Structure 1
C-alpha cells in the first residue's frame, strides 16, 4: 500500500526536510508540496491525497482553519514549531502533532500510525480478498469463510463452497482478517464468529467440522463468542 502525501508549509527548509524524509520511506509517495492552504486546496481538488503534513502558522489561513474548512479531509499530521495548538488539532481528529525540528524517528512513528490506520480501514471497507491457489488467484468473500486452518507451511481456508489451500503464513492471515469478525481459537485455527453453530465442551461446531479451543484461549474465546448473548435462568 502506497500513501500519497502533500506537504503544506510556508517554510522552504521545512518542506525540504519533509520531502527528504518521505523519499526515504518506501510506502510514502509525494503528491506535491506547497506554501499555503489556498494552493493546497487546489491540489486536493485535482489529485488523490491520503495524508497531509500540515503546518499551523501560515499567512492568511492557519493549518487549523484550513483543516476545519475541508468537508472530507485526508489524514493529517501537523508539523509545527508551536506546541499551543496540540489539543485543538486532536479535537479535529489529527493523526499526530510533530514539533519542529522533527527527527526521522519521530516522523517514522507518525507515518507508521498513518499506515496502520489505513490498513484497518481498508480491511473494513473490503468484503473480499484474493489468494493464490493451484496457480490461480481465487476471490474469497469474507462472508463465505468458515474457518482457517494452519497446515505446516500452508494455510487452508475453509469456505461455504470448498477448501482453498495456499502458501501463506498463519500469522499473516490472522493479521489480515477483520478482528471484529474472526477470532483465533487455537494455535492452528481461526474461526468466523458468526458461522459457529454450537459449543461442545472444548470444541466449536461449524457444520460438520469440530474445531478445538485452546485451554489458554478459552476465556477470551467464550467472551467474544457469547458477547452478552447467553441467556440463562
Structure 2
C-alpha cells in the first residue's frame, strides 16, 4: 500500500480527491494540506510515496515547490491550468490531471503510480527472475496458439470483434477486445493513440501532424489523445535549445 498526500487550497477539491483515494485499496491517505509548506512536516514524520499536488496555491505554487524539493516522492499534478503540463513533465511528474477530475482518470494515474512503485520496491533478484515470464503472451489464431513477444509488437488495431496485432514478424488476428488487450499491456511501453489503435512507444519513429510513423505504417492520432501523446511520449525525451544554454 502506498501512503499519499493531497495538497490543494480548495476544500472541495481536497474532499473530492480524498473520496477517490478511499475507493482504492492500494492507497492510504496520510494527510491533507492546503499548501506545500504544510506538506514538509508530514514528509519528515513518515514516508510519503505519492503526492497529489495542485499548482495555483497561495504562499508557494506546486511548480515552485517541485523545483526546490530534493528527491521528491512520486507526484501527480492536479490543476485547472493545462499550460503547466510541459514544465511539470520536465520536473518528472508521473501524471497531469486537469480539473474537474473524473474517477476514471484518477484511477488511471493512481494505477500508473502503483505499477511504478512496485517496480521501485521489487527486490532485484525477483525482478530478474520474472523477466522471462513477463516479456511475451500467447494469443489464439484460428486453431493454434501464437507466442507474441511484447518487444516485437509494433502496434495493435482494434476492429469490431477482434484485433490485429502487427509485429516484426507480420500480422496476427485474434478475437479480443482492444480494451481488454490494453489492460494487459504495460502502460510504460504501450500507449493508446486512437479509439482503434495502441502503439509501442519504443517503435515510434516520428510524429507528424495527426499521424504516427512506425516503419512503413501510418497510424492515426485522434484529437482526444494527441496532447497525452505529446506529454507522455515526446516531452519526456525532447531536446530543446533551452537545455543547451549551459553547455
- TM-score bucket (shorter structure): 0.5 to 0.7
Give unmatched runs, 5+ long, in structure 2: 139-144, 153-247
Q: Does 1:107 align with 2:106?
A: yes
For the aligned residue pairs, the C-alpha RMSD in angstroms reads 2.7
User: Does residue 34 of structure 1 match 2:37?
Assistant: no
TM-score (norm 1): 0.56
| Residue pairs, 1:1-233, within 5 angstroms | 2-123=1-122, 126-128=123-125, 177-178=130-131
Q: Once the 2 structures are TM-superposed, how far is the Cα of residue 127 of structure 1 from its aligned partner?
A: 3.1
Distance in 1 separating the partners of 2:46 and 2:82 = 30
Q: Which has the larger radius of gyration?
A: 1
| Superimposed CA distance per residue, residues 17-76 of structure 1 (whole angstroms, 9 cap, x where no aligned partner) | 000000000101000001011111111111110000000000111100101111110000
The two structures have a TM-score, normalised by structure 2, of 0.53
Alpha-carbon shift at residue 100 of structure 1 (Å): 0.7
Cα 1:86–1:183, aligned 2, differ >3 Å: closer, same or farther? closer
Structure 2 CA distance for aligned equivalents of residues 58 and 16 of structure 1: 16
What is the SS of the residue equivalent to 2:18?
A: helix
Greater relative contact order, per chain length (Cα 8 Å cut-off, separation 6+): 2
Distance change in 2, residues 1:127/1:32 (3 Å): same
Q: Find the residue that maps to 1:117 and give its secondary structure.
A: helix
Unaligned runs of 5+ in 1: 130-141, 146-176, 188-213, 221-233
Shift of residue 109, structure 1, vs aligned partner: 0.7
Name the CA distance, whole Å, in 2 between partners of 1:106 and 1:183.
Answer: 26
Displacement of 1:217: 6.5
CA apart distance, 1:119 = 1.7
Distance (Å, rounded) in 1 between the aligned partners of 2:135 and 2:14: 45
